[in-house]
């Protein structure tokens, strides 16, 4: 949202200080917001926030060089700024991150329309895309970009709100108790969607999945009395979230509890074929997405759209237009082999779902290249081994575990009679694929962000390009 520096100062709880050389600085208009000096565009306001590795105060001058109209800085850091940074308007706050969050909350309140928030252990981004697409059949929708869903990313998304937007769809991620509650205080969601409670980040929860469930419930607890909770009744934890909620509850998912409900899902090389019921109507739609779990993500989108008054046929047409995001189920053809690139992230539940997707493919060989799944703590070896066993039970021909605890996945598959190997890192996995893949193979590449298995695919692509040039 475009604001003057004077308006930003009020919303962020900051003091605007301007050099004598800048006349009427409070009237200067901010056209965008950034916490990364490398992406600053002319007219942006730069927030100098401190991350895990870098401190934005070290890059204030760089942001101003790129055209930032001003910078928000923490009071304790002002003395350390360069002379170049001191020659422009500064908004001085006790803490620049808190100022960012306060301004986002202020903009959200000023905008005053419906915010729909999504959380869950898996499927948040795809569910967000499905909800935004279905709502866009009728409304002007702001959706959060990518998976910017933490205490840095969510405020930046809210600052993109404009008067013409009729509703906003945002993600809320977490890796510890209390994080979603904090995000909800910033975004003030009216409607909340919970996809599932899995084992992602379980190392941070002494109560295991029950602790993760409590953290996810924070979204429902934050909804107003006239809000709506959209809950996946297929999930044993999420299906209980409506018991104490005073507002309206809409259940979606598999089985008689859902409306809309998934009656059947069939997966083939053309995509997902979903048979559903909504109210008195049965219907079908096809998704251009991999993995049966995406049927539940899509049905969540339909549930929200129908509650918002979107025509069902228009909502379904929008869902059918969805395409995979980058590294989220992309299908690539390289040297006659089919690569299912789902390397963006991984957790045990998502991996097991995608193993079934791989098993459903017609192939010379079905090969799983699975990276280590992170933040599983003391459960890591067991959860990796369970995925190795699931690979064998699904009839996967060859399992490749990549890095760290993925050795347990490969070992379990081997114990179940499946050919399996373990490799130390993504580039090595890429070299292995170059040497061993054959035309007709179908390969699922599934990895947590930290393993960067997309690098293995890049090695394979580069080898293919080099061969073509010769």
Task: State yes or no: 120 annotated in a binding site.
Answer: yes
Phi/psi at 267 (5° precision): -120, 135
Q: What angle do CA 347, 212, 250 make, to 5 degrees?
A: 95
The strand pair at 366-371 and 228-232 is best described as unpaired
Is residue 325 annotated as involved in ligand binding? no
Cα–Cα distance for residue pair 384/376, rounded to 1 Å: 9
Q: Consult the annotation and say whether 395 binds a ligand.
A: no
Instruction: Name the helix (H) or strand (E) containing 142.
Output: strand 141-143
Say if CB 64 and CB 12 are below 8 A apart: no
Query: Rounded to a whole number, what is the distance in angstroms from the first to the last CA of the chain?
Result: 52
Find out whether the peptide bond into 260 is cis, omega within 30 degrees of 0.
Answer: yes
CA distance 456 to 442: 15
* 283 annotated among ligand-binding-site residues: no
122 is in an annotated binding site: yes
Q: Does residue 413 have a known ligand-binding role?
A: no
Q: What is the 3-state secondary structure (H, E, C) of 75-132?
A: HHHHHHCCCCHHHCCEEEECCHHHHHHHHHHHHHHHHCCEEEEEECCCCHHHHHHHHH
Q: Say how many residues make up the chain.
A: 470
Look-up: residue for tokens 């190392």?
203
446 among annotated binding-site residues: no
Binding residues: 120-126
Binding residues for ATP: 120-126
């Amino acid at each position: 949202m475009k604001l003057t520096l004077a308006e930003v100062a009020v919303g962020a709880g900051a003091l605007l200080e301007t050099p004598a050389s800048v006349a009427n600085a409070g009237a200067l208009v901010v056209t965008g917001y950034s916490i990364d000096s490398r992406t600053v565009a002319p007219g942006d306001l730069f927030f100098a926030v401190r991350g895990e590795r870098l401190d934005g105060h070290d890059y204030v001058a760089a942001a101003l060089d790129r055209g930032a109209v001003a910078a928000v800085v923490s009071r304790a850091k002002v003395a350390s700024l360069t002379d170049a940074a001191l020659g422009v308007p500064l908004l001085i706050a006790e803490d620049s991150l808190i100022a960012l969050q306060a301004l986002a909350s202020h903009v959200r309140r000023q905008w005053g329309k419906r915010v729909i928030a999504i959380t869950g252990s898996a499927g948040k981004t795809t569910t967000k895309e499905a909800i935004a697409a279905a709502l866009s059949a009728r409304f002007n929708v702001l959706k959060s970009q990518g998976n910017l869903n933490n205490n840095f990313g969510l405020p930046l998304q809210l600052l993109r709100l404009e008067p013409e937007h009729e509703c906003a769809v945002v993600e809320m991620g977490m890796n510890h108790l209390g994080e979603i509650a904090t995000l909800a205080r910033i975004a003030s969601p009216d409607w909340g969607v919970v996809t599932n409670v899995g084992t992602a980040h379980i190392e941070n929860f002494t109560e295991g999945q029950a602790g993760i469930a409590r953290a996810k419930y924070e979204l429902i607890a934050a909804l107003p009395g006239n809000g709506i909770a959209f809950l996946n009744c297929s999930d044993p934890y999420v299906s209980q979230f409506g018991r104490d909620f005073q507002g309206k509850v809409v259940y979606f998912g598999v089985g008689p509890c859902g409306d809309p409900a998934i009656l059947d899902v069939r997966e083939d090389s053309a995509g997902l074929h979903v048979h559903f019921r909504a109210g008195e109507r049965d219907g079908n739609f096809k998704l251009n997405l991999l993995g049966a779990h995406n049927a539940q993500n899509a049905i969540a989108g339909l549930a929200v759209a129908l509650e918002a008054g979107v025509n069902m046929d228009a909502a379904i047409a929008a869902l059918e237009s969805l395409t995979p995001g980058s590294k989220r189920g992309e299908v690539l053809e390289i040297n006659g082999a089919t690569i299912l690139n789902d390397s963006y992230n991984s957790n045990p539940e998502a991996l097991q779902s995608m193993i079934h997707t791989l098993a459903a493919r017609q192939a010379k060989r079905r090969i799983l290249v699975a990276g280590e799944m992170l933040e599983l703590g003391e459960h890591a070896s067991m959860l990796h081994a369970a995925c190795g066993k699931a690979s064998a039970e699904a009839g996967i021909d060859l399992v490749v575990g990549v890095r760290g605890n993925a050795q347990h996945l490969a070992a379990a598959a081997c114990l179940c009679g499946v050919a399996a190997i373990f490799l130390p890192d993504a580039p090595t996995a890429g070299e292995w694929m170059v040497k061993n893949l054959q035309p007709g193979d179908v390969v699922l590449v599934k990895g947590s962000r930290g393993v960067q298995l997309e690098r293995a695919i890049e090695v394979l692509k580069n080898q293919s390009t080099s061969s073509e040039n010769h």
